[in-house]
Structure 1
Amino acid sequence: MKLKLLVLLLTISCTNLLKSQTPTDYLPKEFHKKRREILRSKMPSNSVAVVFANPLRNRANDVDYVFHQDPNFYYLTGFREPNAVVLIFSENQTDANGNSYNEIIYVPKRDPRSEMWNGKRLGVAGAKEELGFTMAKTSEEFTMESLDFKKFDNVHIVKFSDDYRNNSRDKGETYDLVNAFKNKSGYHSMKIKNPNVQYIHKAIANVPDARLEELAKNLSKSLEIYPEYKKDPLINEYISADSDILRKELKQKIKLSLNKRESNIDFKLLPEVLAEMREVKTPEELKLLTKAIRISAVGQIEVMKAMQPEMSETEIQGIHEFVYKKYGAEYEGYPSIVGAGNNGCILHYIENNKTKVGKDLVLMDLGAEYRGYTADVTRTIPANGKFSPEQRAIYELVLEAQDAGIEVCKPGNQFWQPGQETKNIINEGLAALGIISSPSAKHNYFPHGTSHHIGLDVHDPGTYGAFKENMVITVEPGIYIPEGSPCDKKWWGIAVRIEDDILITKNGPVNLSGEAPRTVENIEKMMAKKSILNDFVLPNLD
């Protein structure tokens, strides 16, 4: 008896020790439970929401990519493993044993052999204890149960990307879960419309009668660019109609087809509701997101101090990501962008393989992911520590535009306003510098939008309407002048983007990444400081 008690105490002690050595600042289970309750309150009666975890994705041969959870699934459950599905019901359900429940999660079963190779699984008991679900089963059970999805008026899902791989390891992989759902729900018999075709159907349904012929002509020109239009009989009929009378009839026919439901499966509600929920952050989320942003800002600071002309883009990337790991950030929020000179003109440049940055400007767009929440911070600095006159002129123009964009980030203002402010200033500034002929001249030196939400995704979902308190968005104007541009050669190869993460508050915008220097003077001052990495010299391997 004493021996059994000793073993039990040792087991508890070891478990507590292991827990104390792992992060404890993840979102609490109560947070995720509240998200499910909010979602349930927005669902119509007699409906169910079905959300799948991300699958494992193969890198090469028998090696998988590091797993990253689907953000919506994590938001609703807190579960960080693959091969799972959660069902959230609008009303209570009753199982065969008379148990009442309004949600159920299916998770991978415990498997000692698999866990020996890939780490401990939470399992059914863990899902109940640590995630707060009263009803939990194994993923394999989901594939075998005779769930009747056809009894619901609405089955809410997010459209499948269909990139699931059958690893043939377990019967409860995401591949199997998705296929089981499709079979149980009648999904296979649905006619899934091409999004581009559906967009055109909506355009025809809403076109004013006075512009019926004009739209038909424009669509006719699009046939070669979008061959899927040719395959749709309604679009073809509309284009070939020889009178507005026929076009009106087809317009009405298309309206009816858009309103007709062929199935109880609904793709609309879940993305819309989750976007509305996720765009405004709770205090718990803001704490984690702010930490991710500050980690990223410190990374920018340390690189400013360590930067040398003989560094490579890869080495610069490595310093950023070392800082992230030093603070305990699990991942980068997206592939790191470090572009020197002309490479900075490639908006999503991730090769980062230039061996020496020299005297170029180095555009560094990186963000740490901390406990699921992702920063997005960009700084552009001169590799030799001093801006040239041309580099300085472009940089200060972008900074002026960014300041103006940040200023309008206030509750009630529209999401497009920072973009409009920045574009006006950049167009006027480019004209004043002689890079474009006039502020109204068309150009491609600022080809992207200015703002997006951040959160569990670097491009977090949102309604993109008016600003609300506790949204966190980016403001990121840029100017990119690639070699060969139609302007004086002295500007060629200059690329500048300044990006900060802005919290919307009733008292005005708060720059959460502002501790990373933004002005020319403060950047040059920071770059003149000694770095702790200056004495970190590795042996020559050549």
Structure 2
Amino acid sequence: MKKLSMYLFFFLAIFSGQLLAQYPTDYLGKDFHKERRQALREKMPPNSVAVMFANPVRNRANDVEYVYHQDPDFYYLTGYQEPHSLVLIFKEKQKDSQGNTFSEVLFTQQRQARKEMYNGARLGVEGAKRELGFEAAYDATEFKNFNMDFSVFDKIMFLNLPSDVRDAPGDEADLYSLLLQFKNKVDYPVDFNADKYKMYDYVKSEEFLKNPQAAQILRQLVNSFPDFASNDQIKAVLEAKSPEQRKLMIEKLPEPRQKLDGSSLEKYMTDLREVKSAEEIALLRMAVDVSCVAQAEVYKAMRPGMSESEVQGIHEFVFKKYGAEDLGYPSIVGAGNNGCTLHYISNNKMDIKSDLVLMDLGAQYRGYTADITRTIPASGKFTKEQRAIYELVLKAQEAAFARSKPGNKISDNTLVCRQVINQGLAELGIIESVDAPHNYFPHGVSHHIGLDVHDRGNYQEFKENMVLTVEPGIYIPEGSPCDKRWWGIAVRIEDDILITKDGYELLSTRAPRTPDEIEKLMAEESIFSNYKLPDLKK
């Protein structure tokens, strides 16, 4: 009997291992999410509660939904990836009627056998306790009668509540119902406006006081918020004759006494998410590597006659081959003049010919997304004009790299790129002088990446373990006021960097960046060269 039990034990162990090996095991662990909840708790004011809801389910058409994507802040704090749920996080420990203490509660999507038969298993209460580490978890059906007196809290903090949520009639545990129940529990005013309180905070900030356009900004706020227009103290600030007098008036502004706080939680989450942990950096490295390998494979496969969507398909095939579960954002493949549309996602040009092809695609790996752009010639060789623009963008990017280190302002990356590009455009005769206005470089250069492709960040100074893009570009659409030989040239070079203790690490090295390296790799044989499908034309 003992021998049989031993064989059974080993069989189950081997079977379990084989089963686990069939599915990803490198998601963030429950300890990460638990630590993030504690980090948020430490930022919260005394006697407060943070309330956060899952993302709504989005309808694609008729009875088909879009693939569900969890709210990144909700996932960051919980690890839970299902809809129709919410989490409560308390500053201090709470006590239930049985004397049990808790500091957080997760309400999970209701388990329903028939729906799970169609759409897959749900984690449920026990799964949330086991897999996510929540000691207090309940079915979402229990939130309506959950014994919690929200009136005892000084602050009830939440992010912008979803306003476009569909109601499932008869379901008291869908997101629509959970939102109504929450509003009833906290006496949520019909005309609640979180932006008004954000504006109060902004007017009392050092940023506002130091802004030379402060008076103009305040006039805009008065026009936007009637409460400001009728507030004598705000009027006194507006009528101040000097910055010093304005500061004095601002110091006299009372703090708005508002239990419902729709602004502070956003600031706390931004502070938490802008600097990445070691676990997050590991996932971002993988997302970047996958995206770069896809770019490199397209270098070798690209040729005149391909369509934009075919180029897109090769990228996304490589993403899936490496186990990336999704795209970080809609894929951009713009050949020729299409590349001048910054967020061009139609990707329906049937023949890329010998154009430059701008390819902005990022794999999402375990929730974290890369953001990589490369621009390459479909012919395999840059023309003289294409190379000139490309090398100018590359020069601007290198200038931004050089100053990407702790203590420097993030926004200055855009300024230094603009200086380099303006100088270069003037030397090429595309603009009349370095000071001439133009729209050939219309966007910023650096943004955070993480759970969002444009991730949360305060965008002040670089800090160690931030992960950001560096993405200058030049776009010269057809009909531009310059020599026609430049028309239709669009170049963006976008790389992802990790800010280190005293500089930066370039993460996206697997996709060559210089013109010579690109042309060399494009001359290599592609694994897709002999990939043929049946001809469907009749």
**TM-score by structure 2 length?**
0.90
The more displaced of 194-203 and 452-461 is 194-203
Amino acid at match of 1:436: I
1:330 aligns with 2:325: yes
Q: 1:254 to 1:97 in 2, by over 3 A?
A: farther
Among 253, 258, 264, the residue aligned to 2:259:
264
CA distance in 2, matches of 1:122, 1:529: 47
CA distance in 1, matches of 2:361, 2:278: 24
Q: 1:233 to 1:269 in 2, by over 3 A?
A: closer
Q: How far did 1:270 drift?
A: 1.4
Q: How far did 1:169 drift?
A: 6.9
1:206-285 equivalence runs, <5 A: 215=216, 229=223, 232=226, 234-235=228-229, 247-248=239-240, 259-285=254-280
Among 437, 442, 446, the residue aligned to 2:441:
446
Corresponding residue pairs, total: 527
Residues 212-246 of structure 1 show CA distances to partners (whole Å, capped at 9, x for unaligned) of: 9x749x95xx7xxx9x93773644899xx9xx999
1:129 aligns with 2:130: yes
CA distance in 2, matches of 1:304, 1:26: 30
Q: 1:257 to 1:26 in 2, by over 3 A?
A: farther
Aligned position for 2:50: 49
Aligned position for 1:25: 26
Among 470, 473, 476, the residue aligned to 2:468:
473
Q: How far did 1:29 drift?
A: 0.6
> Is the 1:190–1:262 contact (alpha carbons within 8 Å) kept by the matching residues of 2?
no
The more displaced of 344-353 and 265-274 is 265-274
CA distance in 1, matches of 2:509, 2:212: 52
Aligned position for 1:114: 115
> Is the 1:55–1:173 contact (alpha carbons within 8 Å) kept by the matching residues of 2?
no
Q: Which structure 1 residue ranges, 5 or more long, are not aligned?
A: none
CA distance in 2, matches of 1:403, 1:337: 24
1:377 aligns with 2:372: yes
The more displaced of 154-163 and 389-398 is 154-163
Amino acid at match of 1:53: A
Q: How far did 1:333 drift?
A: 0.2
Q: How far did 1:18 drift?
A: 3.9
Amino acid at match of 1:304: Y
Residues 255-295 of structure 1 show CA distances to partners (whole Å, capped at 9, x for unaligned) of: 69974535311123211121111111111111111000000
Q: How far did 1:252 drift?
A: 10
CA distance in 1, matches of 2:204, 2:237: 18
Aligned position for 2:37: 36
Residues 73-130 of structure 1 show CA distances to partners (whole Å, capped at 9, x for unaligned) of: 1111111111111111111111111111111100013221111001001100000000
Amino acid at match of 2:393: V
The more displaced of 417-426 and 338-347 is 417-426
Q: 1:462 to 1:298 in 2, by over 3 A?
A: same
1:174 aligns with 2:175: yes
1:350 aligns with 2:345: yes
> Is the 1:201–1:235 contact (alpha carbons within 8 Å) kept by the matching residues of 2?
no
Among 389, 399, 402, the residue aligned to 1:407:
402
Residues 422-471 of structure 1 show CA distances to partners (whole Å, capped at 9, x for unaligned) of: 11100100000001111111111000000000011101111211111111
Q: How far did 1:417 drift?
A: 2.3
CA distance in 2, matches of 1:387, 1:430: 18
Q: Output the aligned Cα RMSD.
A: 3.3
Aligned position for 2:139: 138
CA distance in 2, matches of 1:486, 1:45: 60
1:50-89 equivalence runs, <5 A: 50-89=51-90
Secondary structure of the corresponding residue to residue 187 of structure 1: coil
Identity of aligned residues (%): 54
Q: How far did 1:20 drift?
A: 3.2
> Is the 1:190–1:263 contact (alpha carbons within 8 Å) kept by the matching residues of 2?
no
> Is the 1:164–1:174 contact (alpha carbons within 8 Å) kept by the matching residues of 2?
yes
> Is the 1:337–1:364 contact (alpha carbons within 8 Å) kept by the matching residues of 2?
yes
1:354-365 equivalence runs, <5 A: 354-365=349-360
Residues 349-392 of structure 1 show CA distances to partners (whole Å, capped at 9, x for unaligned) of: 11111111111110001100000100000000001111110000
Q: Which structure 2 residue ranges, 5 or more long, are not aligned?
A: none
Q: How far did 1:156 drift?
A: 1.3
Among 300, 304, 309, the residue aligned to 1:309:
304
**TM-score by structure 1 length?**
0.90
Q: 1:461 to 1:207 in 2, by over 3 A?
A: closer
CA distance in 2, matches of 1:196, 1:538: 59
